[in-house]
Structure 1
Amino acid sequence: MEGEIINFTMVWLIVCMSLCYCHTAGKILHPGAGRFLAISPVVLLFFLLPLQLTSVHLGGATAFFIAWLANFKLLLFAAGNGPLSATPPLPLRRFLALSCLPIKILQNPSEKQSPKNHHETLNQEPKSFLNYWIKALIVALMVKLYDYSEFIHPKVILFIYSWHVYFFLEIILAITQFFGRTLLGIELEPQFHDPYFSTSLQDFWGRRWNLMATNILQPTVYKPTVKIAAKVVGRKWAPLPGVMATFLVSAIMHELIFYYLGRMKPNWELTWFFVIHGFALTVEILVKKVLPEKRRLPAAVSVPVTLVFIFSTAIWLFFPQFMRLKIDVKAFEEYAALVSFMKKLAFPLVS
């Protein structure tokens, strides 16, 4: 644990220094080939840095933050687009945070600061705080439940694990938002919108689930693909190849992150998961284009159908990767190591 924390600290020091360099390069170089050539070594470095970490929690979060989010944002920055290409240029502290953290500033912060909305926000914060504590308690109970996994059907374990991952991600992103609000003084958009109420795959992937990944894939993959496809198949049908391209890139990035976590050759089941969802979402969009809204399924039917599809495909192709790479075992070992480490810090003489 001590060695991993030291490596984690060193990795993030390198990340901060690299982003300071990118911030300076952005002031000197105009968007285009010159800025891209200046930033490309940092992009390569950010793909390599997660290999210095072996833990599931520190390594997995770092891989997502820098190999995916930061790299895609830096590529947009090289082209003069994305959240880092603000006018006037972002101050360094905000540039560092927006580069590698899963945060997005509200587009209309003035509305958020109105007396009425401010009062509503103060009333909602205790409820939100309690909500996250409840979810943290549920995660703790799930971890304890795994001690009896030999008495539970493997598919049920995978179902429980799916909720574990969701709650854990939401808590991590909520912590990130808290520090963003506290340290940067800015209001941030939520990254989850009750995905268990999704009425369709389009609703789930586009408006409810891990919106930071959605927001970074849209300008880097979806929009350029739609622009190219529009010249071939027309504007009406251009979103269809755009959706498939977006899911393929998402599949590649997930395969990469799981490689960081397990250091094993991929078996491409993750890729198939995203290909199936990309194809299903493409069909869904196609049906919506030809079917009148009044003839579509009501929410009472579409919500359970959507959730059944998501859970069944995830249990079939996505979550088994956690077991194959023994990520679940490593995670529980890390929980135990963290408890031991905290005890040493709290009671050094007893240890």
Structure 2
Amino acid sequence: MVGEKISSFIQVWLIVVTSLCYCHAIGRTVPKGTTRLAFLLPVVCLFLFLPLKLDSPHLGGLTAFFIAWLANFKLLLFALDRGPLNSQVSLPLFIALACLPIKIQHTPLSKPHPNKGISSSSVVNYAVKVVLLGIILWAYDYIDYMHPYVIKLLYSLHIYFFLEIVLAIGAAVVRSFSGLELEPQFNEPFLSTSLQDFWGKRWNLMVTGILRPTVYEPALRFSSAVIGRKWAPLPSVFSTFVVSGVMHELMFYYLGRMSPTGEMTLFFLIHGFCLTVEIGLKKASKGWWQPPWVVTGPLTVGFVLGTGFWLFIPQFTRSKTDVRAFEEYAELGAWLKECLGFLMEK
């Protein structure tokens, strides 16, 4: 079973890499604009279809996030010669930038160095999170004895640690091959001082970076012409959260193959509305009242967790993604044990 899933995963990603080779060639030969967009649209449609070929919650979920969301948004920007993709870079780097949640910092390293940009504190930080993720996986053995809110908290921490570790590994691989310093994807979201700080500077920064040029900036230009530059960020921020909600509905469809319930969209509409109000109050007060972090920090994290427990986490249980994930861990353990036994016999 595990072997079949890995085989399907490899097949899908061979198609992805081949498609991105085509996109790289298109960028070098076809001028930007509607003509290039017409050549890239078949790949965008293909990337929307490919995650349906994977029924693994881990491999399928990550593939959907990488190609159906990030890569497709980057390709749409690439059609206009904007965003992180550039046909002048090498093909391997183009492929990595297209389908991995990474972003090159403005000041690249002058020479590749395996340890450059990786501090000892970062190593310790990730090592601690790997250990914590292992503890969470172990704790699932006793899930029948846990309170539902404890289970939801474990799921929330699992998602955070899993995403940060996987994205950090992807960035480290690209860094080792290219010698370029890459921006981190998370910035300790539990230290957030406000919703603006959480969504704009700390949580899944690659999504923030790709939604800004594709949704926020066009909406900002339109809103500026209608209501003026001062208040234009408010509808622009809300529009960004609407799109994010729709894309999360799509991601959960890939995970569970269930019709959207609207709860994902509601989660992001609530956060978009509250963030819009927060920004509006800051503009109206001109920053004269700023509560200390000891007040705003727990309120922010508590609000994110509370709304997540209500609308976000239940999507995993409703689609039985959590059950399938546990089965996948068991299958992986049995498969690794079988492989180890085979190697020992040799």
TM-score, scaled to structure 2 = 0.95
Match of 1:90 in 2: 89
Amino acid at match of 1:146: Y
- Mapped partners of 2:86, 2:230: distance in 1: 30
Match of 1:239 in 2: 233
Amino acid at match of 2:56: S
- Mapped partners of 2:267, 2:278: distance in 1: 16
1:263 to 257, 262, 278: 257
SS, match of residue 294 in structure 1: coil
The alpha carbon displacement at 1:138 in A equals 1.1
CA offset digits 1:278-308 (Å, max 9, x no partner):
0000000000001132312111111111111
Amino acid at match of 2:99: C
Match of 1:146 in 2: 140
Alpha-carbon contact 2:117-2:181 (below 8 Å) kept: no
Give the share of equivalent positions with the same residue, in percent: 53
Match of 1:229 in 2: 223
- Mapped partners of 2:18, 2:238: distance in 1: 36
Alpha-carbon contact 2:60-2:254 (below 8 Å) kept: yes
SS, match of residue 36 in structure 1: helix
SS, match of residue 271 in structure 2: helix
- Mapped partners of 2:135, 2:117: distance in 1: 30
SS, match of residue 71 in structure 1: helix
Match of 1:51 in 2: 52
- Mapped partners of 1:171, 1:21: distance in 2: 30
Alpha-carbon contact 2:199-2:208 (below 8 Å) kept: yes
Amino acid at match of 1:153: H
SS, match of residue 30 in structure 1: coil
* 2:103 paired with 1:104: yes
The alpha carbon displacement at 1:178 in A equals 1.0
Match of 1:347 in 2: 341
TM-score, scaled to structure 1 = 0.94
The alpha carbon displacement at 1:160 in A equals 1.9
SS, match of residue 288 in structure 2: helix
SS, match of residue 183 in structure 1: helix
Match of 2:62 in 1: 61
Match of 1:308 in 2: 302
Amino acid at match of 2:100: L
1:95 to 1:151, Cα distance in 2 relative to 1, 3 A: same
Amino acid at match of 2:92: R
1:349 to 1:20, Cα distance in 2 relative to 1, 3 A: closer
Match of 1:324 in 2: 318
Match of 2:14 in 1: 13
The alpha carbon displacement at 1:119 in A equals 9.2
1:183-222 to structure 2, matched below 5 A, reads: 183-222=177-216
- Mapped partners of 1:211, 1:349: distance in 2: 41
The alpha carbon displacement at 1:120 in A equals 8.6
The alpha carbon displacement at 1:335 in A equals 1.0
Count of paired positions:
344
Amino acid at match of 2:303: F
- Mapped partners of 1:299, 1:106: distance in 2: 29
Alpha-carbon contact 2:223-2:232 (below 8 Å) kept: yes
- Mapped partners of 1:294, 1:102: distance in 2: 37
- Mapped partners of 2:141, 2:60: distance in 1: 24
Alpha-carbon contact 2:86-2:94 (below 8 Å) kept: no
2:279 to 285, 290, 295: 285
